[in-house]
Amino acid sequence: MFKKPMLILFQIVMIAFITAACNTPEQPNSNSKEPEEKPAHSESNPTDTDEFSEIPDESLQKKDSGEEVKQLQLALNEIGYELNPTGEYDETTTWAITDFQLQHDNILVSGIYDEETKQLLEELIKNNDIIKAGDGLPQKAEPAFTNSGTEIIANPYDQLGLINKEHALPDDYIPEDLVIPDVPFPFAEDLPKKQMRKAAATALEELFEASEESELELYAQSGYRSYERQDAIFAANVDAHGEEAANNFSARPGESEHQSGLTMDVTSPGVNFDLVIEFGETKEGQWIKENAADYGFIIRYPEGKEDITVYQYEPWHLRYVGVKAAQEIMSQGITLEEYLEANE
């Protein structure tokens, strides 16, 4: 008779207990931690390969130095090179840029970091592309010498390459970007000596245009010369003057800047279109001396520097090195040898 009231009482107690349990605040587990909110962006510690954020915008070349050169070296490492990021645009960096340019079509090969090279490098980095370093130009080559014992340079494409009686071009080197500049010549035939490498030809056109605005009469006389052509010229000069005398004004094959495609001999009617020292005294010769650097050219064999260049004074012989280097060389009154050897 007591079972039903007891059952009702028991149910009331259980309902109260369950209600109290549901209203009790939840206590955190002492062995767990509240998840931390992550920041939207976190900086990681930089490593040697991600110190740079973007590649340089301005043109860079051999002998430049600073943070932008270091950024360029790090960027080249991103696509497969292994450069020491010293911040010095040295021979190794020049090789890497030349090798990179040689591995891509429709780009001027110069060893200079320019706008075209920048755009290609950005594209490769963006696409996470890797190239095989050295496929265009081996970094290390076995030492080679001409028949006369002159060391052959490893990078004949280098716009600032030193070519003289101690540094020769390979006998099979022919620039691939030879063009005829749109300037006056004292002859009509389309001979190879009208040609120059494209960058030099464009700069020569600008120089001649400026000289015409100054009412001067400049003429281009002799540009590109093959190894074989230089061999014949030197042999003829030796026959006429003897080897010792010929070596003062004529280059042995491989040692001539004309083979590089970066040189043009200029003249004027005032000297009957000849290549003679008197050209330096003409209005055209004086203008060249004062203005050539603004268009990237230097007088390669200046007066008073014969002991360094080992060539006689040639006011007609223009060598293209680019505006930056040309202005430094001409303003300081130094030779290409002195410029490249400074601070090495």
Residues 287-305: pLDDT tens digits? 999 999 999 999 999 999 9
Checking if the pLDDT of 23 tops 60, the result is no
Q: What's the fold here for domain 54-139?
A: Muramoyl-pentapeptide Carboxypeptidase; domain 1 (1.10.101)
Q: In this model, does residue 127 exceed pLDDT 50? A: yes
For the residues 66-92, what does the mean pLDDT come to?
97
pLDDT bucket at 141, cuts 50 / 70 / 90: confident
Beta pairing partners, 299: 318
**Kind plus residue range of the DSSP H or E element containing 298:** strand 297-301
Which residues pair with residue 298 across a beta bridge? 319
Rounded mean pLDDT of 190-200?
A: 97
Contact indicator for 337, 321 with CB cutoff of 8 Å = no
For residue 197, list its beta bridge partners.
Answer: 178
Residue 222, strand partner residues? 265
Query: Under CATH, what is the fold of the domain 151-341?
Result: Muramoyl-pentapeptide Carboxypeptidase; domain 2 (3.30.1380)
Pairing label, strands 151-152, 167-168: parallel
- Specify the higher pLDDT residue, 164 or 42: 164
**Is 273 in contact with 267 (CB distance < 8 Å)?**
yes
Please report, to the nearest 10 degrees, the dihedral formed by the alpha carbons of residues 35, 37, 38, 41 taken in order. 180
Q: What average pLDDT is seen over the chain?
A: 88
Helix or strand run (H / E) with residue 318: strand 314-320
CB contact at 8 A, 120 and 114: no
What tens digit of pLDDT does each residue of 26-69 get?
444 444 444 444 333 333 333 444 444 589 999 999 999 999 99
**Inter-residue contact 75 to 117 (CB < 8 Å):** no
pLDDT greater than 70 at residue 70: yes
Residue 247 confidence (pLDDT): 86
Q: Tell me which residue of 223, 132, 140 sits closest to 183, measured CA to CA.
A: 223
**Is the distance from CB of 116 to CB of 107 less than 8 angstroms?**
yes
End-to-end CA distance of the chain: 115
- Which helix (DSSP H) or strand (DSSP E) does residue 263 occupy? strand 263-267
Residue with tokens 């003897």: 242
pTM of the model: 0.84
Q: Which of 177, 170, 310, 176 is nearest to 247 (CA)?
A: 310
Which tokens go with 161? 């390459």
- Range(s) for CATH 1.10.101.10 in the chain? 54-139
pLDDT above 90 covers a percentage of the chain that reads: 80
Model pLDDT, residue 344: 62
Segments of the chain assigned to CATH 3.30.1380.10: 151-341
pLDDT at res. 248:
84
Closest by CA to 312, choosing from 300, 322, 301, is 301
pLDDT tens string 217-265: 999 999 999 999 999 999 999 999 999 899 888 999 999 999 999 999 9
Taken in order 11, 12, 17, 19, the sign of the CA dihedral is positive
Q: How many CB atoms lie within 10 A of CB 108?
A: 17
- Alpha carbon distance 270, 278 (integer Å): 9
The span from the CA of 173 to the CA of 146, in Å, is: 13
